[in-house]
Each structure stands twice: as C-alpha cells, then as structure tokens.
Structure 1
C-alpha cells in the first residue's frame, strides 16, 4: 500500500481542520494530526513547561512523537492539519516523509484575507491553544504580516508529489475526490 501524507498549508480559519476531518472521513485508514489539540493538551497539563518565547518547541516535540509513532507503528495515511507556513519547516517535513516512502500532497488554502477576517470575527473556537496571542484576529494579523517574508511564502507545486489549491469552500469536494483517486492508484 502506498501511504499518503497530506499536509495542509494556510492561515488561521482558512478551513484546514474542516478539510482534514472531511478527508479523514472519506480516506480509508487515515488519521488527522492537529497541533491545536496538542497545544490545548500542553496548556491544560504542562503549561509551566511551555517556552516563554520563540517557537513552541514542546508542542512540536509532542506532535513529532505522535507522528513518528504513526509512521513506524501504524499503516495509515497521515493528514497534518496545521499552518505549515514556514518554508524551511515544510521542506524538512516533506523530506522526512519522502525518506519514509510516503506520497506527499500539499493542500494550500489561499483564502482571501477579507474572508478570513470575517471568519475570525464570527469564530466560536476555543482560545485554549494560545501561548503568545489572545485572539484569533491577532494570530491572523501576524500571519498576514509574515506573508511578505520569503520564509513564509506560499508553497509551490514542485514542493510535493501532488499540489492542490483551495481558494473557496466550494473547491473542497473536488480536491478530496482527487486525493481519494491518488490513494486508490
């Protein structure tokens, strides 16, 4: 069986989690890895261990441990549902999965900022995942500012074996269908 790794890329409230859960429901033998769940776990049980500044290395370590377990102990397709906006981190992640024989798929959520701002304003999502922000509007503002940084540039088609762009919610069913088709080859 060829195993897939589907990596979502996009700003907060772009639809990555909704997409990942829909894909998981349709893609046999798949599991979603959502770093928001890991952040909430850490904030609930290990808040004093979180780094005060810089990257949340504890969250990344928890995620990597769970991913390593799935890669080496399970025979499932993986769906990584977090922003993956930093090019270097994304490249390292893709290299890791290539080395493990996975077929890589990037799904880029290129949702207009005005749509994201409206979604953030109406959001009912828990803020228990935050470490250095107090609102999703603040997270979105940071992501919008960093979008001009070449390290945070949008992904390109040649980064993965397959590349899809979602610009609006209506694109989701077709992209899921194409990913299912790749899995069935």
Structure 2
C-alpha cells in the first residue's frame, strides 16, 4: 500500500501543529515535518544567512532535504505541518514532492473563524523565533494572512487538488478526521470510513 502524505492548510493558530502531533501519535510509522522547526533552527544557528526579503530558500531547502530523505530512506507516512495557503505551493508539494504514484495525498484544511484565531493569537505562548524579524507577533502574521486572502494565488484547497480533502471548521472535528486518516492508512475503504 502507498504511504500517506498528509498536508495541513490554514492560517496561523488554526490548529495545524496540534493536529499534526496528535495524528503522529495515532498513525503508526509516521513523522511530522514542520517548517517552523526548520525556521527556528535557522534563526537560532544561522540568523545571518536568512534573506531579508523574498522566499526563504534556505528554509525551503532544508524542508526538501528532510522530505527527500524520508521518502528515500524510510517507509514513514509523512505529515506536513505548515500553512500551504498558496495554490502553487500545494501544487509543488502534491506534484513534485509527494507524487500520486507513490503517496495517497491528503489535504487537511483548517477553516476556523477569524474571531477564534484572534482569540488564540492574543493568548499564544508559542515562540516567535520562527519569524524573520525579531519584533513580529502572531497577531501581525494573522493580519497579513487575512489581507493576503484577496490575492489570486492564495486560495482554499479544492476537492480535485489531492486524493482526499478534509475541511475542519470546528476544533471538535479534529478527532474524527484523525480517525478517518488512521483507518485509511490501515487500508480500510474510504466509503466505510
């Protein structure tokens, strides 16, 4: 059976990392690849190498190396935890990194209300060491993401982008989606899930 590539999509504090870690606990033979960990590593040890603007090629290079290693040298299911809000970014992951002939590709879109997200960022205790600029806050990130929603390249995932799409509009839906994904990994037909 093919391995799973579970890719989260959503704004900051929508629950992507919490979901990914919970899924990793339930899904045998899996690991989480979180770009925030790569950003934290670079900001801790290689801050001088970070680009001032434009894409963070070094962070993306580390992520690609980790993904390539996991694909080549393990049989793990891969849980990708980062925002993936641009359609072109998802296409790259789904077509170039997690190819259809090798993976069952699952998108999990966190579509929580902005009110919920604002409450979460205001009470956040997460480290801001993942940001390029030292004084950036998660509230700044959320405001930027809301403004970006009007850009043509930022789009909610559609049914035909991956093999499966789950949309989470309420945190209470998380456990149900995790159970479905675990059952898929165990080879149960999707119709029975």
Structure 2-normalised TM-score?
0.93
Q: Deviations over 1:3-26 (max 9, x none)?
A: 000000000000000000000000
Cα distance per residue 1:104-124 (max 9 Å; x no partner): 000000010010000000000
> In the alignment, which residue of structure 2 is the partner of 1:85?
85
1:22-61 mapped onto 2 (5 Å cutoff): 22-61=22-61
RMSD across aligned positions (CA): 1.0
Q: Cα offset for 1:100?
A: 5.5
Q: Aligned partners of 2:59 and 2:44: how far apart in 1?
A: 12
Paired residue for 1:172?
174
Give the equivalent residue in structure 2 for 1:150.
Answer: 152
The residue that corresponds to 1:137 in the other structure is 139
Find the counterpart in structure 2 of residue 74 from structure 1: 74
Corresponding pairs, count: 185
Distance (whole Å) between structure 2 residues aligned to residue 100 and residue 89 of structure 1: 19
Shift of 1:157: 1.1
* Structure 1 unaligned regions, length at least 5: none
Secondary structure at the aligned position of 1:28 is classed as coil
Q: TM-score, normalised by structure 1?
A: 0.97
Give 3-state SS (helix, strand or coil) of 2:22's partner.
helix
Q: What is the distance in 2 between the residues matched to 1:158 and 1:112?
A: 24
Residue 120 of structure 2 aligns to a residue in which SS?
helix
Q: Which runs of 5+ in 2 are unaligned?
A: 188-193
C-alpha distance in structure 1 between counterparts of 2:26 and 2:2, whole Å: 17
Counterpart position of 2:191: none
